[in-house]
């Protein structure tokens, strides 16, 4: 079974990338233009495997098109260019709404009180099986590659995080020995953000990252790919841990993007 999957993926990655898909990629994902030719070719292959293996479902009256599939797949696969994941093995379905959607919230507070209600969402990542995205916000996140906000990067970072068991800000690292430095750096950086939010001090990363270690990792991923030079300058240790995990160094080629 594993041999067959590897063979099928190799065949898919070697296929000619459809011209209409390339047009969508060039139009909707500006990040693509700043990749090396080798990375562009690699990304095209990753997209073809991703689209073959994942199911897309439209909600709220949205009809799934190749534009939606390719735009989302491209950004999800940018995170995989360093070979960090086996194509999100826990993910089977991407559910797409035309815009922000309303989700049920069931949350236990620190005092033990359980809060229930409805909350507007742009995206959700479930540890088993699915990701939910707002198409309007997918497009907006892709179009501005310098603002540090990218919905697809954020939600798919949660998927990477959950591959270690549960999403808690500690994804499956290439080597077990890396967890010591990861825990030390990420814990400190997370607490620094929590303190900054509590005391209303300015901070490079989005304050939403102070919600939990899992959200901190997802927010840090957005900044790593969209504001790498700023992140490297202000938080060099955090940048270095993300560089080692993603096996990418976006600051090295993104400086003049």
Q: Which pLDDT score is estimated for 111?
A: 47
Which tokens go with 233?
Answer: 């300058």
d(CA 52, CA 21) in angstroms, rounded, equals 14
Pick the CATH number of 168-257 from 3.40.50.300, 3.40.640.10, 3.40.50.80, 3.40.390.10: 3.40.390.10
Portions of the chain given CATH number 1.10.472.150: 14-146
State residue 31 phi and psi, 5-degree precision: -55, -30
Q: Which pLDDT score is estimated for 53?
A: 95
CA angle at 158 for the pair 207 and 4, rounded to the nearest 5°? 160
Q: Are 193 and 200 in contact (CB under 8 A)?
A: no
Q: H/E element holding 200?
A: none
Extract the residue ranges of the chain whose pLDDT is less than 70: 1, 100-123, 126-127, 254-257
Q: Which pLDDT score is estimated for 102?
A: 56
Pick the CATH number of 14-146 from 3.40.220.10, 1.10.472.150, 3.50.50.60, 1.10.10.10: 1.10.472.150
pTM comes to 0.90
d(CA 38, CA 93) in angstroms, rounded, equals 29
């Amino acid at each position: 079974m594993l041999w067959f999957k590897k063979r099928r993926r190799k065949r898919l990655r070697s296929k000619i990338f459809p011209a209409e898909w390339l047009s969508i990629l060039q139009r909707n994902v500006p990040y693509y233009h700043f990749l090396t030719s080798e990375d562009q070719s690699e990304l095209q292959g990753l997209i073809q495997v991703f689209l073959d293996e994942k199911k897309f479902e439209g909600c709220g009256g949205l009809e799934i098109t190749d534009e939606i599939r390719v735009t989302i797949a491209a950004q999800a696969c940018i995170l995989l260019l360093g070979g960090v994941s086996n194509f999100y093995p826990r993910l089977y379905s991407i559910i797409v709404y035309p815009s922000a959607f309303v989700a049920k919230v069931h949350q236990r507070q620190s005092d033990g009180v359980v809060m229930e209600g409805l909350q507007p969402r742009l995206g959700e990542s479930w540890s088993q099986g699915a990701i939910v995205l707002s198409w309007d916000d997918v497009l907006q996140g892709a179009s501005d590659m310098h603002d540090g906000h990218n919905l697809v990067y954020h939600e798919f970072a949660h998927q990477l995080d959950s591959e270690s068991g549960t999403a808690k800000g500690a994804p499956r690292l290439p080597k077990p020995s890396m967890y010591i430095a990861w825990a030390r750096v990420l814990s400190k950086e997370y607490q620094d953000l929590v303190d900054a939010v509590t005391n209303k001090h300015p901070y490079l990363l989005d304050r939403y990252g102070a919600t939990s270690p899992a959200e901190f990792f997802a927010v840090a991923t957005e900044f790593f790919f969209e504001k790498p030079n700023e992140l490297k300058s202000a938080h060099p240790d955090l940048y270095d841990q993300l560089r080692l995990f993603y096996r990418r160094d976006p600051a090295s080629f993104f400086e003049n993007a």
